[in-house]
Amino acid sequence: MKKPDMKEARKRQQKEIKYTKYKTKSNKFGNNKTYFVRTYGCQMNEHDSEKICGMLESVGFKKSEDIEKSDIVILNTCAIRENAHDKVFGFLGVLKHIKDTVNPNLIVGICGCMSQEEVVVNELIKKYKYVDFVCGTHNLDNLLTLIEQRIQTNNRQIEVLSYEGDVVEDIPVIRESKYSAWVDIIYGCDKFCTYCIVPYTRGKQRSRKKEDIIEEVKQLKESGFKEVTLLGQNVNAYGKDIYNDYNLANLLSDVADTGIKRVRFVTSHPWDFTEEMVDVIAKRENIMPYIHLPLQSGSNKVLKLMNRRYTKEDYLKLYNSIRKKVNNSSITTDIIVGFPGETEKDFNETLEIVEKCKFDGAFTFAFSPRENTPASLMKETVSEEEKMDRLHKLNEIVNKYSNIANKKLEGTIQKCLVTDVSEKDDNKVCGYTENMKLVNIKGPKSLIGKIVEVKIVEAKSFSLDGEYVK
């Protein structure tokens, strides 16, 4: 049994990153067995789940939509917020019931960020005896060995490594979409924002080698993918750990050179976002003009408490530069209200920036402490009621500007990558504009997988309605 150790996870040494290749298993021990994977959290987790599916299918497991009849259920978890935790523990209750009543042989496993948390794993060991295995984020490539050992020995398997992490290439992947693909470019994070657990659960910043990324994009293009999204907790730090003279701006250029129709990237940290990167985005037609640029707070005092390493003035300078240089850009953000020490005045400064920036959208949150982070040791100064009140006020302004941004598109023609049948209406398809706006489109299903022109006929709060033009 290897349990997580948060003290070890916090360490940053100057050790070189090991680049290794995934070791394929020849034993098809999953033949005639089925699996179900539930994903919580961010895009990196969604992509990790695609790898989990890829590994399972490589040894014969088949995907199932029916949990009760599955042989194995894996929860790929998120540790970023309290409610993600609660959801996982709630779902474990459902799985226990299934094991107790209809499927006693069901194997239940936990992967993802929660598996890297010492308190969580200790709780799973003590109180959740029906969880059959726990696999950490750093050894995901060893998942099949843990499952095989669990099947062969009937013993619970717990393997979580608390170290800075390596890079494993060529893990098999079953992608959710045939047209739009996630591509990891950097793992981990060294920013240590005081509220965030990610640097402890995902290890240090480790960039993939540029050749491996570019080759992956070329192959995706050849297989018919129209869009790639370059992924990392902080993509703007790409290359800093392994190259002296190659960064995200260079990588974006090289990925754009592959000729793939659309290039996106997420998530950005304003501190590492250079003018060189803005210029590349502005210049290259196939780099989409959509940027998610987390602000978190509009108060310099709170930004400092959060250890965000930029001031509101720095943020505004970058924001204005993107707006000026990148044609038709849209910018979304993340904001936390009620951080320890945030006064009414600090909160009003956040509202002022939101009024200035007129974001296309924002993910807004009330602060909730994550155990073992520095912010969890700060004295909470904002009551839950006040947090909710601030969140409500913020959301009103965010929604106002999001509606205005959507309304501006009414009557315009937008290029959309059509990805699926619309969830709202079986007779429509849906897709995303270059600015990452979801459009429900009146048009035939044969459009799926194509980039087409769509006339925007109506702006709704969280989506647009459009008609296929050509």
> Residue numbers of the site for ligand SF4 (CB under 6 A)?
189, 191-193, 196, 198-199, 233-234, 269
CB of 405 to ligand SF4, least distance (A): 24
Beta strands 451-459 and 413-421 are: antiparallel
CB of 297 to ligand SF4, least distance (A): 12
In the bound state with ligand SF4, the residue whose beta carbon lies nearer, of 128 and 187, is 187
Query: Residue 117, Cβ neighbours under 10 Å: how many?
Result: 25
Beta strands 72-77 and 62-63 are: unpaired
CB of 313 to ligand SF4, least distance (A): 19
The DSSP symbol for 441 reads E
CB of 193 to ligand SF4, least distance (A): 3
CB of 128 to ligand SF4, least distance (A): 27
In 3D space, the residue among 37, 424, 17, 438 whose CA is nearest the CA of residue 203 turns out to be 17
CB of 234 to ligand SF4, least distance (A): 5
Contact assessment for residue 6 and residue 372, using Cβ atoms and an 8 Å cutoff: yes
Question: Per residue in 11-42, is it b (16+ CB within 10 Å) or e — as a string?
Answer: eeeeeebeeeebeeeeeeebeebbbbbebbbb
In the bound state with ligand SF4, the residue whose beta carbon lies nearer, of 89 and 192, is 192
Beta bridge partners of 453: 415
Contact assessment for residue 77 and residue 110, using Cβ atoms and an 8 Å cutoff: yes
Torsion of CA 169, 172, 177, 182, to 10 degrees: -10
Vertex 312: Cα angle to 269 and 348 (nearest 5): 120
In the bound state with ligand SF4, the residue whose beta carbon lies nearer, of 191 and 218, is 191
CB of 393 to ligand SF4, least distance (A): 23
In the bound state with ligand SF4, the residue whose beta carbon lies nearer, of 107 and 196, is 196
In the bound state with ligand SF4, the residue whose beta carbon lies nearer, of 233 and 329, is 233
In the bound state with ligand SF4, the residue whose beta carbon lies nearer, of 172 and 374, is 374
CB of 205 to ligand SF4, least distance (A): 9
Whole-angstrom distance, CA of residue 242 vs CA of residue 255? 18
Whole-angstrom distance, CA of residue 126 vs CA of residue 456? 55
In the bound state with ligand SF4, the residue whose beta carbon lies nearer, of 292 and 437, is 292
233's tokens:
């907790």
In the bound state with ligand SF4, the residue whose beta carbon lies nearer, of 192 and 243, is 192
The DSSP symbol for 209 reads P
Rg of the chain on CA atoms, in Å: 23
